[in-house]
Each structure stands twice: as C-alpha cells, then as structure tokens.
Amino acid sequence: MDIVVRRAEPAEYEAVGEITAQAYLRDGLLDFGEDDEYLGELRDVAKRAAAAEVLVAVRDGDVLGGVAFVPSGGPMADIAGPGEAEIRMLAVDHAARGRGVGEALVRACADRARATEGCVRLILSTQPAMHAAHRLYERLGFVRTPERDWQPLPNLLDLSLLTYALTL
C-alpha cells in the first residue's frame, strides 16, 4: 500500500475529524457514546490544526487516518514537558486498519520530533483497551512510563490513561 503522510489540508479536516470520531465510537472508547462531550473535540480538526501539526495518511487521494503532532511546548500538549513532543488523537479509518497506516503516522511523528530542536523524547497517552496501538508503539521502540499515567477527568476514576515514551 503506497501511503503518503503529509500535513492535512483544510479541505480534509472534516474527513479526519469523522475518521477520528468513528474510531473512538466503534472501539467503545467514549463512555457516553454519541453523547460524549469529547466527540466534539475529536471532530474539531481545525482547532487542532491551529495549535498543532495535523498529519494525514493518504492513498490515491483518500484520507485513511490522521494524528496531531504537538511539538515541544505546544498548547495541545497534555503531558509533554520540556524537550518532549507529543502524539495526540491518532486514528485510522476502520477499513484501512492493519495496512500500516497507523505505523506510518507514528513514524512521521517520530521523524518530526527528531527534527525539532531540543526534542529528546516523543510521548503519548493511550487508553488501556487500545491493545493493537500498544503493540504498535512497543514494536516501534516506545516504552511504558507508568509513573506518568494520568486521569484526564479526575472525577471519573475509571478513565485512566497509560503513557508511552520514545527516546530519540
């Protein structure tokens, strides 16, 4: 599969947002399904693009997935500290899964992190149920950093995020 990863164009924001929203919905990652407040954030690619670099994986003009790359100190960072870049909202269209799309997006983020002056680590947060993603991260050299695990909504104790880091 010839996958090209590049910066998302505004005309692709809606497709990326829907791929991201559907990935979270189909995988049961939103506690309140279609009524989950986070769904709006997942669909709002223009907001992400204003604060981070939104990348897309495309083949033959079709958007297959997307990710937000947050360079050191970016406003979209959840847990990145000095010298760290962060991956946010990685999602692959259900029909394109298992074809290297997610890997291409993660590798593109690692390349961008390496090209970011002063960046020594690429980090990300993931839900415990995202087993395929965990395997991908570990295969690409990421290691678990349980000391950084966190809860985005402290009043929802059942939503804890696991963290991974790749030393560059």
The pLDDT value recorded for residue 151 is 87
Would you place residue 159 in the very low, low, confident or very high pLDDT band (cuts 50, 70, 90)?
confident
Report residue 154's pLDDT band, with 50, 70 and 90 as the boundaries.
low
14 closest CA partner among 40, 44, 35: 44
CA-CA distances (angstroms) from residue 152 to 13, 61, 78, 158, 165? 25, 35, 9, 11, 18
Q: Hey, where are the domains in the chain?
A: 4-167
Three-state SS at 158: coil
Q: Which of 67, 122, 128 is nearest to 93 (CA)?
A: 67
pLDDT surpasses 60 at 118: yes
Contact 21, 43 (CB under 8 A): yes
In contact, 23 and 91? CB cutoff 8 Å: yes
Q: Which of 94, 90, 80 is nearest to 165 (CA)?
A: 80
- pTM attached to this predicted model: 0.94
Q: What is the mean pLDDT of residues 102-131?
A: 96
Question: Under CATH, domain 4-167 is a member of which superfamily?
Answer: Gcn5-related N-acetyltransferase (GNAT) (3.40.630.30)
Q: For residues 81-103, b (16+ Cβ closer than 10 Å) or e, as one string?
A: eeebbbbbbbbbbeebeebbbbb
Q: How confident is the model over 67-112, as pLDDT tens digits?
A: 999 998 778 999 999 999 999 999 999 999 999 999 999 999 999 9
What band does 50 get if pLDDT is binned at 50, 70 and 90? very high
pLDDT of 73 reads 74
